Structure formats: C-alpha cells, structure tokens
Amino acid sequence: MSGRNVLVTGGTGSLGSAVVEAFLAARDRVVVPWIVQGEAERARAAWAGALRDGRAVLVEADVADEAGAARAVAAAGEVDVLVNGVGGFAGGTPVDATPLDAWDRMYRMNVRTAAACARAAVPGMRARRRGVIVNVASQAALAPPAGLSAYAASKAGVVALTRALQEELAGDGIRVAAVVPTTIDTPANRAAMPGADPSAWTPPAKIAGVILWLASDAASTVRGALVPV
C-alpha cells in the first residue's frame, strides 16, 4: 500500500490537509496543488520534513483549468491515486435569490476541478491499467436542503461524475468512488455557524481515513460506491 504517487487536490484546506497527512503516514508520495498563498505557507510549515525528503510536493496550479490540472498531474508523474478534494460552499438563499455567478462558482470549484483532473490523470492510469479516483461529494447532493440549491446541484454533479467515470473505466483496471460527508468540523464551518453544535459534525481525519481505505487494496472490489461518512 505504501510508496504510491498520490495527487490530492484541495490538499491545503481543512479536509485536504487531513487527507494528505493520512497518505504521508502510509508512506506514500503526495503532490498537492495550491492557489491560496496563506494555505501554501501553512502547508510548508506543517509538512517541512516531508517536503524536504520529497515525499510531499507543492505545485502552484489552478486545477479548474486544463493547464493547471495537467501541471499537477505532471508533478505527480505516474498517478496511482487521485483524490479530488477541491470544493467550495455557497448557500443560505432560495433559488430566486441566488446569483447565477454563485452557480458558476460552485460548478467550477466542485465539478470542473474533478473533471479536469480526471481528464488529465486517466490516460496514464488507463495505459498502466491501474489507478484509484476518489471524489468528495456531499449529503446535500442526495437530500438537498432548502437554500443550498447551487451547492447541492454541483455536488450532485460530483455524484454523477463518479458513477459515469466508473462505467467508463471499469474495464481499464481503474476504480472510482466518492465519500459523501455530512457537515465537516472545520474552522470555516464553525465560524459560519456559531450557534450550531459541532459535536455531531464529522472530523476531517475520519473522512481522510475512509478515503485512505478506498484507495487501498482492501477496497479492491468497491467500485462506483458513494460512501456516507
């Protein structure tokens, strides 16, 4: 299970950093694209040792763009595992009060990033006849609450992408799955919902553990799964 090349998009965020640390603990080499300078600086401090010995690699790239996704995949080399962890949230307003720009932003962050990275990584995986892709969806995609239409629709796109990719890649030795979290216990969510009880929220490390398992040989027969966390 160790020694793989793993590409984790969104790896400098709250969930993504937990995913990166899980794969580093499994002795994998992890490539993390970034676009937010402050997040990259925190990552450099947190993973200083891994960056020094080459087990972690930071590459500046906007993976919503074709060139950025290609640059991230090139930095990883032979991608054994792709974790599409980039994501964004917008909500709190009904459809008629949600700007169309919010729909575009949710699609770009949640769906286009995953599609662009899969598009860049799949040819190499197909040539080697192996690989794992794990996407990050949301319970909002399966049971959309009021006021989250743009976000829920974009995460439903991630669900559809997961299932479509598995159908396309089933004969190529490539497995595709998605984790489907409820509210994640992150500093951003705590700040956005100060009156909520975070004790019922999911810690990022727990989700990271499920992603690590989905990428392992123990999950070799799990294909096209949507795993609630």
CA distances from 224 to 32, 141, 153, 176 (A): 24, 16, 19, 5
151 is catalytic: yes
Q: Contact 158/135 with Cβ under 8 angstroms?
A: yes
Tokens of 36: 């937010």
Provide CB contacts within 8 A for 205, sequence distance 6+.
18, 22
Got the DSSP string for 205-224? Answer: HHHHHHHHHHTSGGGTT--S
H or E element that contains 100: helix 100-106
Give the DSSP H or E segment for 14. Answer: helix 14-25
Please give the Cα distance from 117 to 7 (Å, whole number): 9
Q: Which of 151, 156, 176, 177 is catalytic?
A: 151
3-state secondary structure 15-60: HHHHHHHHHHHCCCEEEEEECCHHHHHHHHHHCHHHHHCCCEEEEE
Catalytically active residues are 151
